[in-house]
Structure 1
Amino acid sequence: MSVRLIPRTPSAYGFPLLIKNILRTPLAYYPDREIVYRDKMTYTYVELNQRIQRLANALEKMGVKQGDTVAVMDWDSHRYLECFFAVPMMGAVLHTINIRLSPEQLIYTINHAKDDVILVNADFLPLLAAVKDQMKTVKKIILLNDKDGTPDTPLNLDDEYENLLAGSEPAYEFPDFDENAMATTFYTTGTTGLPKGVYFSHRQIVLHTYGLMSGLCAYEAQAGINSGDVYMPLTPMFHVHAWGIPYLCTMLGTKQVYPGKYEPEMLLKLIVSQKVTFSHCVPTIIHMLVSSPAIKQLDLSRWKVVIGGSALPRGLCKAGLENGINLYTAYGMSETCPLLTVANLKPHMFQWDAERQVEMRCRTGLPVPNVLLEVVDTEGNPLPHDGKSAGEVVVRSPWLTQGYVGDEEKSEELWANGWLHTGDIGFIDPEGYLQITDRVKDVIKTGGEWISSLELEDIISRHDAVSEAAVIGVPDPKWAERPLALVVLKPGAEAETSEEELKAFFAKYAEDGVIPKYGVPDKVLIVDSIAKTSVGKINKKQLREDYK
């Protein structure tokens, strides 16, 4: 026998999972809650809805139709939030452009995505102007401007955003269509080759929003998010829809604060003045904030921050907690929309001492509902959840990209054997928590053994003098590779901290059996800074090139 499908009367409405339905709930529950942009603009959810409809009318008047692609180059702003909704709700595709790409990568993504319209912040006009003669499909350019007057540019600007909205009606009938319609696309830079385009449907984004809600809001844990929170993203909105959290916080009807360009003084000012209680970012942002002398004067005890994008070192987690910040990790990647796991503490862990809690907060986390996650060996066989057996992390979930734009070969590699391959190595402990131990491409292979660069980074981060660290493998004629540690010291620690002392710090962990003796780096270099990628992660590809 086969499964028994439900009968459906001809008049029954098949409710499609469309992004437009996310917007309905806050208009009923919290119509007067605020959306804040820096110190420049404040308006309500009712006005947000009107502006979204005005934007849709304006784009349609400019010729945008279903299936067209509208790209955005902006800082984190209320305008970006409006585009998150208006563009896909029309049936068009939103392309969120990484503003930190090289000119070659920038024009590649614009042409590869077949952008029809680009909305560009005045700050990025020079980037766009540098590639204007190579644009193949762009028909209209709209200016996003926080300053008075029109900037000088060789680009042909078709209109200005606020002017467009002012001249458009605040009512638009967003249509129903297939929930599997493409809603968004963006490009993941990776470490080699040209950027790869990922894409997500309305159905996937709606289901991911509920996945976020269950993972961040539903469980008794060390931090819970609800409609009473005040949200401010610290992950660029071009990067995986700011982890999809603007969709979640809109559904919840939270007050939302958008900081524009990330400037430490402005970020801290907004956190305090707008009473921000929830953010998310990569570790380098928290590192920047806890390194600021101004933080000592602030009460951050109500601020919950989810860390992702890179491993959260225990030393940084401890520093954040000491400053009152409720830090914990989540895990995902561009290809996964992104949420896969959250490091929620279980109730029996609430009474643990600070050190044990830090260990769990820095875990990669528990899979959220509707994420099936395993670690597998080289043959694809699942490994036991014993906290030791490490393999590649593979996943299934309803919100994973179904491939790469225009690249069948890499799409099949991504989805080999029907599982999405993350390229991360990790283990699952008996409590069900995943721990990523390294990227496949970042693990250090020395004398036939693997050494986790992330574990070595976590260890050195616990030294009181260390502000930031990265560990890479460098070529070695005898062992193939050996670990090299790069360390940035805290201000004032330079005179009393030597490279030999830091190497001895590693050696102590080898003596205690935490790491093998061959895991102690041959060299520890004290450096002024560590190279980062366009989204603030440690750029190990660049470091390996610089120090080979």
Structure 2
Amino acid sequence: MSEQLIERTPSAHYNPLLIKSLLDNPIRQFPEQEIVYGDFKRQTYRDLGERVSRLASGLAGLGVRRGDTVAVMDWDSHRYLECFFAVPMMGAVLHTVNIRLSPEQILYTINHAEDDVILVNTEFLPVLEAIRDRIEPVKKLVLLNDTGQTPATTLDIGTEYETLLASGDPDYKFPDFSEDARATTFYTTGTTGLPKGVYFSHRQLVLHTFGTLAALTGTGQGRFNRDDVYMPITPMFHVHAWGIPYAATLLGVKQIYPGRYVPEQLLSLIQRESVTFSHCVPTILQMLLASPKVEEIDLSRWKVTIGGAALPQALAKQARDRGVDIFTAYGMSETCPLLTLAHLKPHMLDWDEERQLEIRCKTGLPLPLVELRVVDEDMNDLPHDGTTSGEVVVRSPWLTQGYLKDPQTSEQLWRGGYLHTGDIGTIDQEGYLKITDRLKDVIKTGGEWISSLELEDLILKHPAVTETAVVGIPDPKWGERPLALVVLKPDRTGQVDEATIRDWLKDFADKGIISKWGIPDRVLFVDSIPKTSVGKLNKKEMRQQYAQTIQGG
């Protein structure tokens, strides 16, 4: 016997899950709530609603139709938030261009996504000028301008953003259509091959928004509620700024968009606008805590979710010493992105700070509607004992259904009916996931697996170290051996040598925290460590850059 489908009354309205459903209530309920763009603009939610309608109407006047693609090249701004809503709400696809990619990679993504209109900040006009003759076909350009002056450019600019809005209809009617319509496209910034396009539907983004709010709102540690003031410090081009702008808008909270990320400016905005909730990668937090301006600011009301890379306990302790309520989130471009959050459970709130830090730095508990497993090579579930590690695979309503125009790689991503994250992790008895390494970054030496993330966390606990990365380097005897790259604090340069770091790690090996085989054979002191366009450690580049150095040495 088959399941019984519901009967629909002929006059009943079938309500598709569309992004426009996230916008109506907050505009009605919180019309005077503020949205701030750095030092440039303050507007209300009422303004947001009108400007979203005007933007969609203006784009329609440029010829944008359902299924067309509109690209955005901008810093984090009120304009970007308007595009998050207006473009998909009119049935078009929003392409959030990673402005930190190389011009050649940006060209590839524009052509691959088949952009029809590009909204471009004046600062990125030189990028488009350099690739203009190879963009297929020629696009319509809309200028995003904070200077108030007409820029000198050889590009054919169709119109300016505010002019486009002024010509638009404030009562533009957004249509209903399938909730499975593609809403957004963006490109992963992996360290191998060309960028890969991932995409999400209206249904997926709406469900991700509600799943995120179900996990974040309420009482307890690290919560995000209507009395918070929100400022993302994750680029809006990167997985919709982790989807939090949609959640923040639905909640009706005050929102701050900082533009370019300058540590002193970010700290000033936190102070001036009383920011209480943010998210960022560890390198951004590290820059903020290292800024002299941090001494002038009370951060005790600031809640910060860290993602994109492992949160070292040493960095978390620095933040906690400033009063920051810090905790980890986990996801990836392919997962929309949020899969887990490392909130403390109620019984953990009475634990001492060191014990709490261990939980805050774990990868976290799965969000509602996320099925998360740690499996062996045959897809068998592994024990939740906190030590047995395997690959993390997931299912959830908001995972990308594939890579754009790449069916072969898409099938590889989804082999066995689960999305393969490429991360190695463990699950403990409390249900917390802990990522121990990337599958491609784990170091295999003499038959043992060594976690580069664990070594990095321990090295960062040394008081002289400000940044580190550990990679595997080919070794003729052991297969691979770990190499540690270390950036020292400016006042400790020349005071720490290779033996100091190795002895530091030997203490942890003597205590049984790591294997003695995990102690790197070589420690190199460097001025900086290579990173990807979104601030992650670029370990592929490190392996290539230092393999010959080590072998030659």
Tell me the TM-score range normalised by the shorter chain.
over 0.9
Match of 1:124 in 2: 124
CA deviation after TM superposition for structure 1 residue 497, in Å:
2.4
Match of 1:174 in 2: 174
| Amino acid aligned to 2:436 | T
Question: Residues 82-126 of structure 1, C-alpha deviation per residue, up to 9 Å, x if partnerless?
Answer: 000000000000000000111221111101100000000000111
Q: Letter of the aligned partner of 1:336 in structure 2?
A: T
Matches within 5 A, 1:263-342: 263-342=262-341
The unaligned stretches of length 5 or more in structure 2 are 548-553
Structure 1 residue aligned with 2:391: 392
The amino acid across from 1:141 in the alignment is L
SS of structure 1 residue aligned to 2:71: strand
1:492 is paired with a residue whose SS is helix
Letter in 2 for 1:399: W
Q: TM-score, normalised by structure 2?
A: 0.98
Do the aligned residues in 2 keep the contact of 1:340 with 1:368 (CA within 8 Å)? yes
Q: Which residue number in structure 1 is paired with residue 484 of structure 2?
A: 485
| Aligned equivalents of 2:92, 2:176: Cα separation in 1 | 13
How many percent identity over aligned positions? Answer: 65
SS in 1 for 2:227: coil
Aligned to 2:109: 109
Determine the structure 2 residue equivalent to 1:16.
Answer: 16
Distance in 2 (alpha carbons) for counterparts of 1:250 and 1:461: 37
| Amino acid aligned to 2:529 | I
Which amino acid is the alignment partner of residue 70 of structure 1?
V
CA apart distance, 1:153: 1.4
The equivalent of 2:541 in structure 1 is 542
Give the whole-Å Cα distance in 1 for the aligned partners of 2:352 and 2:492. Answer: 28
> Shift of residue 194 of structure 1?
0.7
Instruction: Tell me, yes or no, if the aligned pair for 1:296 and 1:323 is still in contact at 8 Å.
Output: no
TM-score (norm 1): 0.99
Write the letter of the residue equivalent to 2:141.
Answer: I
**Residue 495 of structure 1, CA deviation:** 4.1
1:363: Cα distance to partner?
0.3
- Give the corresponding residue for 1:261: 260
How far the C-alpha of 1:498 sits from its partner, in A, is: 2.4
1:200 corresponds to: 200
Report deviation, 1:543: 1.0
Q: Is the 8 A contact 1:270 1:276 kept in 2?
A: yes
Please give the secondary structure, in 1, of the residue aligned with 2:351. coil
Give 1:235's aligned residue.
234
Report the secondary structure of 2:491's partner residue: coil
Moved more, 221-230 or 34-43: 221-230
Contact 1:349 1:357 in 2 (8 A): yes
Aligned with 1:285: secondary structure? Answer: helix
Counterpart secondary structure, 2:36: strand
Shift of 1:29: 2.0
* TM-aligned CA distance change 1:70 to 1:138, over 3 Å: farther
Cα distance in 1, alignment partners of residues 520 and 352 from structure 2: 30
- Runs of 4+ aligned residues of structure 1 deviating over 2 Å after TM superposition are 495-499
Q: Which consecutive unaligned segments of at least 5 residues does structure 1 have?
A: none
1:353-377 per-residue CA deviation (whole Å, 9 max, x = no partner) reads 1111110000000001000000110
- Partner deviation per Cα, 1:363-410 (whole Å, 9 max, x = no partner): 000001000000110111111111111100000000000000000100
Query: Matches of residues 492-507 of structure 1 in structure 2 within 5 Å?
Result: 492-507=491-506
- Distance, in Å, in 1 between the alignment partners of 2:472 and 2:320 is 31
RMSD of aligned residue pairs (Cα, Å): 0.9
Q: Distance in 2 between matches of 1:97 and 1:435?
A: 31
Paired amino acid for 1:54: R
Structure 2 CA distance, aligned partners of 1:30 and 1:461?
A: 44
Match of 1:187 in 2: 187
Residue of structure 2 in register with 1:29 after alignment: 29
**1:431 maps to which residue?**
430
- Aligned residue pairs total 547
How do 1:219-230 and structure 2 match up within 5 A? 220-230=219-229
Q: 1:395–1:419: 8 Å Cα contact kept in structure 2?
A: yes
C-alpha distance in structure 2 between counterparts of 1:264 and 1:391, whole Å = 38
Is the Cα contact below 8 Å between 1:114 and 1:138 reproduced in 2?
A: no
Q: Which amino acid aligns with 2:140?
A: K
Aligned counterparts, 1:376-391, within 5 A = 376-391=375-390
The 3-state SS of whatever aligns with 2:403 is coil
User: What is the 5 A alignment of 1:417-428?
Assistant: 417-428=416-427
Contact 1:507–1:517 under 8 Å retained in 2: yes
